[in-house]
Amino acid sequence: MKNCIVTGILFLSLFSSYSFSQGGPGKKNVINNVNAVENNNLVYVHYQLNSHFYQKSLISLYISFDQGRTFDGPLQKVSGDVGAVSSRGKKTIIWDAIAEKPFIEDSPVFEVRNEVTENKPKNQWFVQYTGNAMTYLGVRGGMIGLVGFYGEIRGNMRSFTKAEYSVKDDEVDYTSPGYYEFTGEKGYSALSVLGGIIFQPANSFYLYLGVGYGKENYLMKFNTYSYDGDIQTGSAYAKYEGYCNSGFETDAGIMLKINRILLSAGGTALSFKSFNWTAGVGITF
């Protein structure tokens, strides 16, 4: 018995093309690297299961004694990773050859079969409130699924404040008649507009990656006065050049769906000079 099984395993390695997975019509082959070894009259059939999270596998083991032309099975005296198998990775089926086929005269070839059923997740629309320390007012919307997309805009209370002047070396390029004084009001005018792709690698779990345009301009407010009676003539903002950044922005992170609630966390980099953590919460529908 032992010699027959060992011979069969050698035959399997020589004719590995006979070891394949098969499922229903249109199903992809998700089994690879089938091989077998014998130890103490037990046959250990190893295979790699590469199924996706939305696929369910029904694994069975077959045997052939005519060089893989026909197969008998499924074999019954089996244990291990056989039957309903849900997780992917390296798997092993253990066949008790003595209990099921005590008299083997020919060299056997083994075949691992896989009946695949799929339950692909449906695409869903979503909307989120999102922001970070710099752009704390934002909205992100799009579609999640195996492959989805999103668009996003973030800003703050000064996003659309116009800076008519610039500050260099603590001096404003103010050339109008009169003089100016800083009010002490200052802060960033920030805005980000992005779009990107969403991938779903696991159940209720998503990865997103996006690109777009962003700006972070540090503004300082000042009042203007005339020399004639020190009368205030107006106010304006100046952009502090040394603390401004704008241009290409990247966005990446994860999403987690809990029932209809969609949470997100990630980071954004502006011109590869400044970085901010982002977070979001929203709903799917």
**Domain check: are 129 and 90 in the same one?**
no
Domain boundary among 98, 118, 138: 118
Question: Which pLDDT value is given to residue 214?
Answer: 97
Question: Which pLDDT value is given to residue 116?
Answer: 87
Percent of the chain with pLDDT over 90: 62
| Average pLDDT score over the chain | 86
Tell me the residue range of the domain where 222 lies.
Answer: 124-284
Question: Which pLDDT value is given to residue 91?
Answer: 94
Given a cut of 90, whether residue 73 has pLDDT beyond it is no
Strongest mean pLDDT among 12-16, 194-198, 220-224, 271-275? 194-198
Alpha-carbon gap, residue 73 to 241, rounded angstroms: 77
Alpha-carbon gap, residue 97 to 77, rounded angstroms: 8
Question: Which pLDDT value is given to residue 28?
Answer: 52
**Domain check: are 253 and 215 in the same one?**
yes
**Domain check: are 48 and 17 in the same one?**
yes
**Domain check: are 260 and 149 in the same one?**
yes
Beta strands in the chain (DSSP E): 31-39, 42-49, 55-64, 78-80, 83-85, 89-96, 109-118, 124-131, 137-144, 147-155, 165-168, 171-172, 179-202, 205-225, 232-240, 245-258, 261-270, 274-284
Model confidence at 158, pLDDT cuts 50, 70, 90, reads: very high
pLDDT tens, position by position, 6-63: 333 333 433 333 333 343 333 455 788 888 888 888 899 999 998 888 988 999 999 9
Question: Which pLDDT value is given to residue 14?
Answer: 32
Give the list of residues 6+ apart from residue 69 with CB closer than 8 angstroms, or none.
Answer: none
**Domain check: are 113 and 218 in the same one?**
no
Domain boundary among 82, 101, 118: 118
**Domain check: are 261 and 212 in the same one?**
yes
DSSP 139: E
Alpha-carbon gap, residue 181 to 9, rounded angstroms: 89
**Domain check: are 258 and 166 in the same one?**
yes
**Domain check: are 161 and 225 in the same one?**
yes
In this prediction the pTM is 0.74
Tokens at residue 15, please? 């004719």
Question: Which pLDDT value is given to residue 30?
Answer: 78
Domain of 74, CATH number, reads: 2.60.40
**Structurally, how many domains does the chain consist of?**
2
